[in-house]
């Protein structure tokens, strides 16, 4: 049995490797398989919306690309874990479209944006592992599809209204059943398992196998990656032990509160509220302690199971109180 090759995770690759022109072929392969046409990356864009938080820049990469029709498109790739992720997608696409519209340029100059979201958590309820979202206008009475007229097609150089608006791809990695039926599935398999099978033929995967090999990274990069992985495991252990202490503390507070009320309903409600309060305080303490040690918001969110927006709010409130 062939031993599978040990590869770095995609989240690490997008932070450290895939922003380099030398590695554009990997992302070009992935995008070509997903969009079903040849994609050429022209540049990595530095977006203003990436500068709001240091973390955003690392979890997201904006690419200026050219497709097989010689059209210029902006593609936004991001991954994260937030409960308000659907709204975050909308916000990100809107910001990207506006940022890359030249000053005094007409609205016809707005560049098409494709938002590709790699999700390592279950967003919404659905049985598929890849979802595509577009904008279409349907008549309320005749149920016909609104189309571009001849002049608009000439102006926009597009064939449909839908093609003017952003496209959204949601890739729910954990829902993939590990059975690769086509070349796109081969990419999804790799994103989920950090493994590339010998019979895989998808564009970009062979190059990814070469560049993502841990053993072929420079020594300092190997150590940085090992530290990153160890940090995730260590923080998870801290949270697990702290969670147990917080749970017990919350239960005691809840029982005491219930006894003060003196009725069964009060006890049950007190326990529930006490547990919630204890867990909430424990999560806050862990977040603050990790932040003091220089841990990134991304890792703090993963360790505590909170959204990154909640962690940012906790840190802001603490800074204001101090």
* pLDDT per residue as tens digits for the range 94-111: 888 888 777 778 887 788
Q: Give the integer Cα–Cα distance in Å for 225 and 9.
A: 9
Asked if 289 and 303 count as a contact pair (C-beta separation under 8 A), the reply is no
Q: Give the integer Cα–Cα distance in Å for 152 and 147.
A: 10
**φ and ψ at 162, to 5 degrees?**
-55, -35
Asked if 315 and 294 count as a contact pair (C-beta separation under 8 A), the reply is no
End-to-end CA distance of the chain: 59
Query: What DSSP character marks residue 175?
Result: G
Residue 168 pLDDT: 92
Residue 2 pLDDT: 42
pLDDT per position as a tens digit, 51-91: 444 444 445 677 889 888 887 888 877 665 555 678 778 88
Strands 167-172, 130-133: pairing kind: antiparallel
Asked if 163 and 114 count as a contact pair (C-beta separation under 8 A), the reply is no
Q: Give the integer Cα–Cα distance in Å for 286 and 288.
A: 5
Reference 164, options 210, 125, 113; nearest CA is 113
Most confident range, picked from 10-14, 184-188, 242-246: 184-188
Residue 54 pLDDT: 42
- In order of 22, 32, 53, 139, the CA distances from 273 in angstroms are 54, 51, 33, 50
Asked if 104 and 157 count as a contact pair (C-beta separation under 8 A), the reply is no
Residue 38 pLDDT: 93
The count of C-alpha atoms lying within 13 angstroms of the C-alpha of 8, restricted to the half-sphere facing its C-beta, is 28
Q: Give the integer Cα–Cα distance in Å for 207 and 160.
A: 36
Contacts of 316 (CB under 8 A, 6+ apart): none
Q: What is the longest distance spanned by two Cα atoms in the chain?
A: 77
Query: What DSSP character marks residue 21?
Result: G
More confident residue, 241 or 41: 41
If you average pLDDT over residues 160-180, what whole number do you get? Answer: 92
pTM of the model: 0.65
Give me the chain's average pLDDT, please: 77
If you average pLDDT over residues 34-49, what whole number do you get? Answer: 80
Residue-by-residue DSSP string for 35-50: HTS--EEEEEE--GGG
Q: Give the integer Cα–Cα distance in Å for 275 and 306.
A: 16
CA 104 to chain centre: 33
Q: Give the integer Cα–Cα distance in Å for 238 and 127.
A: 34
Q: Give the integer Cα–Cα distance in Å for 28 and 40.
A: 6
The domain spans of the chain are 10-216, 220-321
Asked if 226 and 254 count as a contact pair (C-beta separation under 8 A), the reply is no
């Amino acid at each position: 049995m062939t031993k599978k090759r040990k590869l770095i995770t995609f989240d690490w690759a997008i932070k450290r490797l895939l922003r380099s022109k030398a590695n554009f072929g990997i992302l070009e392969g992935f995008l070509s398989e997903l969009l079903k046409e040849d994609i050429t990356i022209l540049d990595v864009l530095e977006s203003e919306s990436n500068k709001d938080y240091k973390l955003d820049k690392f979890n997201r990469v904006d690419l200026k690309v050219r497709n097989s029709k010689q059209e210029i498109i902006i593609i936004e790739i991001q991954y994260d874990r937030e409960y308000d992720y659907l709204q975050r997608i909308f916000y990100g696409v809107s910001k990207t479209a506006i940022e890359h519209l030249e000053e005094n340029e007409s609205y016809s100059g707005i560049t098409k944006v494709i938002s590709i979201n790699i999700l390592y958590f279950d967003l919404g309820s659905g049985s598929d592992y890849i979802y595509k979202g577009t904008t279409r206008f349907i008549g309320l009475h005749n149920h016909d599809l609104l189309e571009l007229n001849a002049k608009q097609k000439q102006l926009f150089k597009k064939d449909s209204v839908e093609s003017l608006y952003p496209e959204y791809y949601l890739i729910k990695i954990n829902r993939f059943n590990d059975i690769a039926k086509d070349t796109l599935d081969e990419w999804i398999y790799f994103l989920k398992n950090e493994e590339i099978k010998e019979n895989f033929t998808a564009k970009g995967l062979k190059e990814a196998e070469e560049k993502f090999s841990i053993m072929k990274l420079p020594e300092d990069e190997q150590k940085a990656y090992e530290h990153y992985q160890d940090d995730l495991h260590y923080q998870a252990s801290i949270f697990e032990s702290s969670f147990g202490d917080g749970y017990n503390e919350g239960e005691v507070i809840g029982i005491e509160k219930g006894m003060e009320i003196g009725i069964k309903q009060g006890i049950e409600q007190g326990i529930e509220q006490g547990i919630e309060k204890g867990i909430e305080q424990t999560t806050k303490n862990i977040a603050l302690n990790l932040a003091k040690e220089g841990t990134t918001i991304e890792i703090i969110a993963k360790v505590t199971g909170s959204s990154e927006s909640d962690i940012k709010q906790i840190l802001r409130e603490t800074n204001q109180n101090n």
